[in-house]
Amino acid sequence: MVEVMTCPLCGGSAQEVKAITVAHLVVSGLAKEVHEGMYGICLNEMCDVVYFDPETTTVFNERDITVPIWYKRDADPKYICYCGKVTEERIVEAVCTDGAKSIEDIIRLTGAMKNGKCETNNPLGKCCGTLIKKTITRALDMI
């Protein structure tokens, strides 16, 4: 069962993420602070907190993470597929310029979803397919 979590800084909603994801994405000097168990990832785009341990006071902020968190303010680049380094901008371009209409088109045109290391590469620790579909829908609405 997924636990309802809130960020200890902003009180915003958070989602569970495995320790393996956190350990792979924190800067090397902080990796030793990551222990087994579940962490929370703050979903508030304006909050500096990325990961937190709900059992302790351990918090990892944006500066502690090796990749930009796509939904955080000023993320640059805004990766949608971290494994393939495919950005939101590239997916929108594939839809608006190259005629992509489906996730299969995006995979073919951009190389997204081909490495399958989502648990360690994606800050949410899961496949980007749902987010790619949402990005396709937004781009199609722009046409």
User: 129-142 and 88-96 helices cross at what angle (nearest 10)?
Assistant: 50
If one counts every other C-beta atom within 10 angstroms of the C-beta of residue 65, the result is 18
pLDDT in tens, 96-141: 999 999 999 999 999 999 988 999 999 999 999 999 999 999 999 9
CATH topology of domain 5-64: N-terminal domain of TfIIb (2.20.25)
Tokens representing residue 89 in the block: 């901008």
Q: d(Cα 42, Cα 132) in Å, to the nearest integer?
A: 20
DSSP state of 4: P
Q: Where in the chain is the domain with CATH 1.10.10.1100?
A: 79-142
Tell me: the pLDDT tens digits for 31-50? Answer: 999 999 999 999 999 999 99
Provide the whole-model pTM: 0.91
What single-letter DSSP state applies at residue 79?
A: E
Please state which of the four CATH numbers 3.40.50.2300, 1.10.10.1100, 3.40.50.2020, 2.30.30.230 is assigned to the domain occupying 79-142: 1.10.10.1100
